[in-house]
Structure 1
Amino acid sequence: METKRKKFQGVLNILSFNRHFYVIGITAITIIILSQLYFQWSQALLWIIIGLFLYGLLMPLIVSAYVYDFSGYYNFDWLKSLQLEDSEKKLAVNINAGFDETSYILKNKFPKSKLQVFDFYNAEQHTEPAIVRARKVSLTYPNTSQIKTDYIPLQTNSVDIIFLLSAAHEIRSFNEKVQFLKECHRICKPNGKLIMVEHLRDFPNFLAFSVGFTHFFSRKHWETAFKNAGFSTFNENKFTPFMSVFNCQP
């Protein structure tokens, strides 16, 4: 399977999956400009408002291009520092939320290891337009299994590596998140690893996504969830100022 990404695929994904946001934003700018025909706006105030709208529309695209198209994120070379072993005896699990851009790439990175893919997308709970649209165009890795967040159908202490790549934040409930991570803890070997990649609800991501950064969760939120789920380590490395790579062990 070809895994090479198209130029600016990250930006195109953002535009496609969040087109409702851009339609609303462009409509709002148009209305504000046309309102000049009926109201005497202060020119300074008018340009400030237009500037804020343009910032909110363009900055996520610029940051997305940087993170997803130019940083090398999808080369997965950043995994080298985690010293993950590739072996026929290893079982790796990749869990997504209905949009899978990574499983084929992971299999190329770990050709000897067995890769099992799970999808916890729930149409009743995960109703945001972006994830609904993303799911329609997502690649499906062979033998991907649909699961619920409270049960992963694998034996206890059977998995060497669990990947949660920009997926876990789609579980909005904290209690559901803890229950899901408890399942990850259960299936992970004592010397196994869980690798999670997430944007955080922090200042750099506020600058990047403005109010959209509330779609993500803070480092403290994740740390508490992993601790409540029983994980003993919670180590963070920054991959660009906007994304964090967490390396956690049971």
Structure 2
Amino acid sequence: MEIKRRKFKGVLNILSFNRHFYFYGAIVLMLIVMSYLWFSWSTTLFWIIITAFIYGLLMPLIVSAYVYDFSGYYDFNWLNKMNLKDTGTKEILNINAGFDETSFILKYNFPKSNLKVFDFYNSEKHTEPAIIRARKVSLVYPNTQQIKSNAIPLSNKSVDLIFLLSAAHEIRSQEEKIQFLKECRRVCKPDGSVIMVEHLRDFSNFLAFSIGFTHFFSKNTWKKAFSDAGFTTCTEKKFTPFMSIFTFFSKP
């Protein structure tokens, strides 16, 4: 399976999956320009509004291009620096929310390990147009299993490593997040861990996505969810100013 990504694939995905946002944004922008031409109102205010709109439309694309196309995120150099062992006895789980761009790359990086892929997408709960469109073009790793977020079909203490790569934020309810993470902890071996990569609801992502940063959750929200699920130790590394790599352990 070819794992090399096309140039600008990340930003083109963002533009395609969120085209409704840009369509309506362009309409509003056109109406603002027309109202300025038809009615007499402050030129300064007009340019402030126009600048804000253009910023809101373009900045998410610029940041997405940086994060997903130029930062090396999908090269997984950040993962190689973690010095994780690849052995024939290692059990790895990759869980996505209906859009999978990482499983084939993970298998490339862990060729000896046994990789299982689960998808917790729920069409009744996860109704955002972006994720629906993403599912239509998503690669499907062989034997990917559809699961419920509160029921991972694996035995207790059977997994060495769980990956949640830009997926867990699709679980909007805090209680559902906790139940999902409890399942992750249940299937983790005593020395197992969960690696989660996420944008955060912080100042950097506010500058990048404006009001769209509310689609993500704060560091404290995630830490509380993992703590309530029984994880005892957490480390965080920034991958670009806009993404964080969390590693959670179930024992000190």
Measured in 1, the distance between the counterparts of 2:214 and 2:74 equals: 24
Please name the residue that 1:197 is paired with. Answer: 197
TM-score by length of 1: 0.99
Measured in 1, the distance between the counterparts of 2:143 and 2:100 equals: 13
Please name the residue that 1:77 is paired with. Answer: 77
Please name the residue that 2:58 is paired with. Answer: 58
Please name the residue that 2:33 is paired with. Answer: 33
- Residues 181-219 of structure 1, C-alpha deviation per residue, up to 9 Å, x if partnerless? 000000001111110000000000000000000000000
Equivalent runs, 1:79-94 vs 2, <5 Å: 79-94=79-94
- Residues 82-107 of structure 1, C-alpha deviation per residue, up to 9 Å, x if partnerless? 22110000010000000000000000
Equivalent runs, 1:60-209 vs 2, <5 Å: 60-209=60-209
Runs of 4+ displaced beyond 3 Å: none
Amino acid at match of 1:51: T
Amino acid at match of 1:22: Y
Name stretches of at least 5 consecutive residues in structure 2 with no aligned partner: none
Measured in 2, the distance between the counterparts of 1:202 and 1:76 equals: 24
Measured in 2, the distance between the counterparts of 1:202 and 1:81 equals: 25
Amino acid at match of 1:21: F
Which SS does the other structure have where 1:94 is aligned? strand
Which SS does the other structure have where 1:82 is aligned? coil
Please name the residue that 2:16 is paired with. Answer: 16
- Residues 124-171 of structure 1, C-alpha deviation per residue, up to 9 Å, x if partnerless? 000001000001100000000000001000010000110000000000
Please name the residue that 1:43 is paired with. Answer: 43
Measured in 2, the distance between the counterparts of 1:52 and 1:95 equals: 37
Which SS does the other structure have where 1:244 is aligned? strand
Which SS does the other structure have where 2:197 is aligned? strand
Measured in 2, the distance between the counterparts of 1:154 and 1:37 equals: 63
TM-score by length of 2: 0.98
In the TM superposition, what is the alpha-carbon distance from 1:3 to its structure 2 partner?
1.1
Measured in 2, the distance between the counterparts of 1:166 and 1:9 equals: 16
In the TM superposition, what is the alpha-carbon distance from 1:41 to its structure 2 partner?
1.9
Amino acid at match of 1:122: N
Please name the residue that 1:231 is paired with. Answer: 231
Which SS does the other structure have where 1:40 is aligned? coil
Measured in 1, the distance between the counterparts of 2:104 and 2:229 equals: 29
Measured in 2, the distance between the counterparts of 1:55 and 1:149 equals: 36
Greater displacement, 31-40 / 197-206: 31-40
Identity %, equivalent residues: 69
Measured in 2, the distance between the counterparts of 1:116 and 1:37 equals: 58
Q: How many residues align?
A: 250
In the TM superposition, what is the alpha-carbon distance from 1:36 to its structure 2 partner?
2.3
In the TM superposition, what is the alpha-carbon distance from 1:234 to its structure 2 partner?
1.3
Measured in 1, the distance between the counterparts of 2:123 and 2:31 equals: 34
- Residues 26-47 of structure 1, C-alpha deviation per residue, up to 9 Å, x if partnerless? 1111011111232112111111
What is the RMSD computed on CA atoms of the aligned residues?
0.6
Amino acid at match of 2:169: H
Check if 1:249 corresponds to 2:249: yes
- Residues 47-69 of structure 1, C-alpha deviation per residue, up to 9 Å, x if partnerless? 11010000000000000010000
Measured in 2, the distance between the counterparts of 1:136 and 1:45 equals: 42
Measured in 2, the distance between the counterparts of 1:23 and 1:34 equals: 17
